[in-house]
Amino acid sequence: MTNFFTTSIGRKILMSVTGLFLIMFLLVHLTVNSMILFDGTGDLFNRAAHFMATTPLIKVVEPLLAIGLLAHFLIASLITFQNQRNRNVTYGAFGRYEARNASQGSTWASRNMYILGTVIIVFLVIHLINFFWKMKFTGDPLLSEVIINGEHMENAYALVTGLFINWKWSVALYVVGAIALGLHLYHGVWSAFQTLGWSNKKWRKILNVIGVLFSTLLALGYAIIPLYVMIRSMI
């Protein structure tokens, strides 16, 4: 008997569920990051980061996130590989059409989700080396302890702002990451709901609007923070 999760729809449902889970993480992450914008002393961000690092819930959520992301990427690789293989017929290069007007009715983002996802993964590795790795394992002189309201904690604010002030190219890198994420979500949000069957002629329009607003909010939010830190350091 065919197993549910080995069927084409079953796999897409796994993509959709893991994707929506990762979106929730993105929202929490952006909320914490936005503290940088609202408090120049860094106390607000440091307290938020300290809370996120020490809450018992993180012990459960962190491995779940890693599994979710890995599953999202691996299943996407499998699906993409299989879909490419089906096109690989005996005609021209990769079985593509000689004349192809691929733009009909579909967005560039929707046709290039795997490429966008790969850009995000590459960005994520750099991002983890920049912050997560230092805070969790190796440490960094910038992270030296601060005391806020009598509580000792790492100075995550100094580490984050330090990167964007001392290495200007990192700002460009983070903006590119934010744009790739925005484009990925531009198609991903509505597509996740469509795959779960939560769409019809009316809801498709609503979901599309939600997708556009959500992806714009996240891309802008993530791009503004490094830009703000860099610009503020220059004036």
Partner 1 sequence: MKLTLKVWRQAGPKDKGQFETYQLDNASLDMTFLELMDALNEKLIAEGKDPVAFEHDCREGICGSCAMMVNGRPHGPGQEITTCQLNMKAFKDGETITVEPWRTNSFPVIKDLVVDRSSFEKIMEAGGFVNVEVGSAVDSNTYKVSKARADEAFDAAACIGCGACVAACKNSSAMLFVAAKVSQYALLPQGKTEGVQRAWNMLAKMDELGFGSCSNTGSCEAECPKGVSLSHIARLNREFIKAGFRKAGAEKL
Site residues (vs partner 1, CB under 8 A):
1-2, 4, 7-13, 79, 82-83, 85-91, 95-102, 104-107, 110-111, 113, 187, 190-191, 194-201, 204
Closest CA to 72 of 214, 188, 222, 218: 188
Q: How far is the CB of 68 from partner 1 (least distance, A)?
A: 20
- Considering the complex, what minimum distance in angstroms separates the CB of residue 21 from partner 1? 18
Choice between 46 and 199, CB closer to partner 1 = 199
Instruction: Identify whether the C-beta of residue 169 lies closer than 8 Å to the C-beta of residue 185.
Output: no
Nearer of residues 12 and 232 to partner 1, judged by Cβ: 12
| φ/ψ (deg, to 5) at 153 | -155, 165
Q: What is the CA radius of gyration of the chain?
A: 21
Q: Which is nearer to partner 1, 41 or 106 (CB)?
A: 106
CB of 15 to partner 1, least distance (A): 9
Q: Least distance in Å: CB of 148 to partner 1?
A: 46
Which residue's CB is nearer to partner 1, number 155 or number 199? 199
For residue 189, the minimal CB distance to partner 1 (Å) is 11
Nearer to partner 1, 4 or 167 (CB): 4
191-203 burial code (b ≥16 CB/10 A, e <16): bbbbbeeebeeee
- Min dist CB 24 to partner 1, Å, is 21
Which two tokens mark 18?
A: 């893991």
Q: How far is CA 113 from CA 117, 143, 183, 209, in A?
A: 6, 36, 8, 19
Whether residue 45 contacts residue 157, with contact meaning beta carbons closer than 8 Å, is answered with yes
151-153/146-148 β-pairing: antiparallel
Which residue's CB is nearer to partner 1, number 164 or number 190?
190
